[in-house]
Chain A
Amino acid sequence: MTTTTLGHKAVSPVAAGDTVAAHIKSRSRPALMWRALRRDKAAVVSIGILVFLTLVAVFAPLLAPYDPLDGDASQRLEGIGTPGHLLGLDGQGRDILSRLIYGGRYSLTVAVLPVLAAAPIALLIGMFAGYFGGRSGNAVMRVLDVLFAFPVVLLAIAIAAVLGPGLSNVMLAIGITMVPYMARVVYTATVQESAKEYVEAARAAGATQAQILRQQLMPNVLSPLVVYGTSLCGLMIVLAAGLSFLGVGVTPPAPDWGVMTSDGRSVLLEGYGHVATIPGLVILVAALAFNLIGDGIRDALDPHKQTS
């Protein structure tokens, strides 16, 4: 191959440009990701479930057959299928279905908002520490290690105790406790990706640090964070329930799913299992849906799985 043909540079630039433009633009990245996500049946079903639960929570006053706080003592603890009360009644004679419908308002918010709030902070901290490393990066990670040393619940109680009870304070407390965990996931991914040659190649091509962080590293460290974040959503419902059980979370009469589960605990062994089991199952379904959506998004973010 000693021929020296550079002649094909002469391809008519305008025509070539048009075809190229057409090809690159043919499918935008979000469109490709959506296509990949749609192929994942588990993710599609999960999205359906969460959309359904959210709509039910939003339109709770229209859908709930009874007042979630007002109980009928004469019918307390009656089981599934009681006439007029599809899912039975709890220890204070409140309709469990109505409480589930209203409970989504608390539980879904508690599941999603702290994670959404913590993710960008964790992303910044983790990428900074992972990319720049050295003394400042180490200092940041050691501070996070100190936070790791506290059990999650203890840390959340401490923060919630300072802030006072209430839903928004609980979410803030949970959000803060989640930052170190999420930041560590980002940190590890950043360290791994930074070592790859494309980062150095980007520097050799004249990119600034900010460009490398934003354009090269961020898309590549995002998928582990998404997977981890969605897996935390289910845990958040349970953690919030634990906090309210300890008196620093959602205040009891409120029909939070976690609170309902812990309410049912006292009568669980007396043959009234439905009080705790039904909200428990709803939490399980929601948590599973979050996880499956996370897996779906991870796959959709992966160029290997997007076929055009």
Chain B
Amino acid sequence: MTEPLLRVENLQTHFASELGTIKAVDGVSFDIPRGGILGMVGESGSGKSVTGLSILRLLGSRNATIAGGRIMFRGEDLLTKSEAEMRAIRGGSISMVFQNAMTSLDPFFRVGEQLVEVLRLHQGLSKKEAREKALNALELVRIPDPVAKLKSYPHQLSGGQRQRVVVALALACEPDLLIADEPTTALDATVQKQIIELLQEINQELGTAILMVTHDMGVVAHMCRTVAVMYAGRIVEHGDVADVLRTPQHPYTRGLMASVPRLRTEAVGEGHVRQRLYQIGGSAPLPLRLTDGCAFAPRCPEVGPECWEVDPPTVASGAGQEAVCHRRAEEKAALTEVVQHVGA
């Protein structure tokens, strides 16, 4: 098996707070192959954005420390790099797209100036070469009339166009990995779809691997190949998108799937009944992790006594799909027993 582009191993990112150490990311591991797209889903505060920021080591100013783990990118551990080496990587071979297209661009500079600056910073191009590449980058993100857009100020563009410019800035230096932190959240639905399709096309054409941080299951279903579901700083389930979405194993993933709104109401009994949207009770905990046990236990419909006390085991089901859950472990054990009985 070839080495993945990015391998995150047992990443620990902790925040110092008055309540104690908050383990925003608590032992997260995942791989992204070259050209792969990994979706990372979870509620606000589940640690998905912090994971993305940790990879680029952009947490400096927020009392955060990366307390452990390894982030292997192209075979080298990013956590051992100097700040200067990291700056060369940021925007160069790994770049990031942020959530809010409205404020991600500096209001004071024209689009062209911002693109030229990034290109010159990382590739040491002459002004003229940088301008050519800036135009290429805008063409890449399919902005109408790119030549005119180069001299536009951010406020002269629509939200969707701004996010395209942000993507162009991120892709200008042809990175191997793009970390997209909820890139569509601030946009309206039709524009969301366009940006997602744009990212997909870029993935196919340039082979840029994407870490898609989102809370939108629809986005994951649409564009990702693999998905990791995060809850309270840990990955509770991961696997191929088709498997995880069709046969979710972890109760949390099941809850998430059930709470995706659907346009069609289903026939119940005689007439068409408007369905209530499923809701996972309670709210996501602060990942303080004072005791062992499953962090989802307080909200879990399948909770059992051991869930409160013992960290749940990882259970594999099918090709590469894994969930971290006591219930699934029990079921699998029971199933194995049955199979053995039948076999005997």
- Which residues from chain A sit less than 8 Å from chain B, CB to CB? 1-2, 4, 6, 8-9, 11, 13-14, 16-17, 19-21, 23-24, 26, 133, 196-198, 200-208, 211, 215-216, 219-220, 303-304, 306, 308
Does chain A have a CB within 8 A of B147? yes
Distance of A306 Cα from B108 Cα, bound (Å) = 11
Is A304 a contact of B155 with CB atoms below 8 Å?
yes
For A14, the closest partner residue in chain B by CB is B132
Given A8-B139, A200-B98, 16 additional A-B pairs, CB 8 A: A4-B205, A6-B205, A9-B140, A11-B136, A13-B136, A14-B132, A16-B135, A17-B132, A20-B131, A20-B134, A24-B131, A133-B61, A198-B103, A205-B90, A303-B108, A304-B153
Chain B contacts for A219, CB-based, 8 A: 108-109
Q: A4-B201, A23-B147, A219-B108 are in contact. Are A206 and B103 (CB under 8 A)?
A: no
Chain B contacts for A8, CB-based, 8 A: 139
In residues 115-144 of chain B, which contact A (Cβ within 8 Å)? 116-118, 121-122, 127-129, 131-132, 134-136, 139-140
For A8, the closest partner residue in chain B by CB is B139
Cross-chain pairs A/B with CB under 8 angstroms, 7 sampled: A11-B136, A26-B151, A197-B98, A205-B90, A206-B91, A206-B118, A308-B151
Partner of A198, one of B92, B105, B153: B105
Chain A contacts for B127, CB-based, 8 A: 21
Chain A min CB distance to B189 (Å): 15
Chain B min CB distance to A79 (Å): 53
Does chain A have a CB within 8 A of B12? no
Is A220 a contact of B132 with CB atoms below 8 Å?
no
Partner of B166, one of A9, A201, A216: A201
- Could you say which of A16, A17, A198 has the most chain B C-beta atoms within 10 Å of its C-beta? A198
Is B121 a contact of A197 with CB atoms below 8 Å?
no
Is A206 a contact of B96 with CB atoms below 8 Å?
no
Distance of A95 Cα from B201 Cα, bound (Å) = 81
Chain B contacts for A133, CB-based, 8 A: 61
Does chain A have a CB within 8 A of B169? yes
Does chain A have a CB within 8 A of B239? no
Does chain A have a CB within 8 A of B242? no
Does chain A have a CB within 8 A of B31? no
Chain A min CB distance to B146 (Å): 9
How many residues in B have their beta carbons less than 8 Å from beta carbons of A? 55
Distance of A304 Cα from B157 Cα, bound (Å) = 11
Does chain A have a CB within 8 A of B58? yes
Chain A contacts for B87, CB-based, 8 A: 206-208
Chain B contacts for A206, CB-based, 8 A: 87-92, 118, 121-122
Is A4 a contact of B107 with CB atoms below 8 Å?
no
Is B151 a contact of A23 with CB atoms below 8 Å?
yes
Distance of A198 Cα from B108 Cα, bound (Å) = 11
Chain B contacts for A211, CB-based, 8 A: 121
Chain A min CB distance to B324 (Å): 30
Does chain A have a CB within 8 A of B314? no
- Could you say which of A20, A196, A216, A220 has the most chain B C-beta atoms within 10 Å of its C-beta? A20
Distance of A216 Cα from B109 Cα, bound (Å) = 9
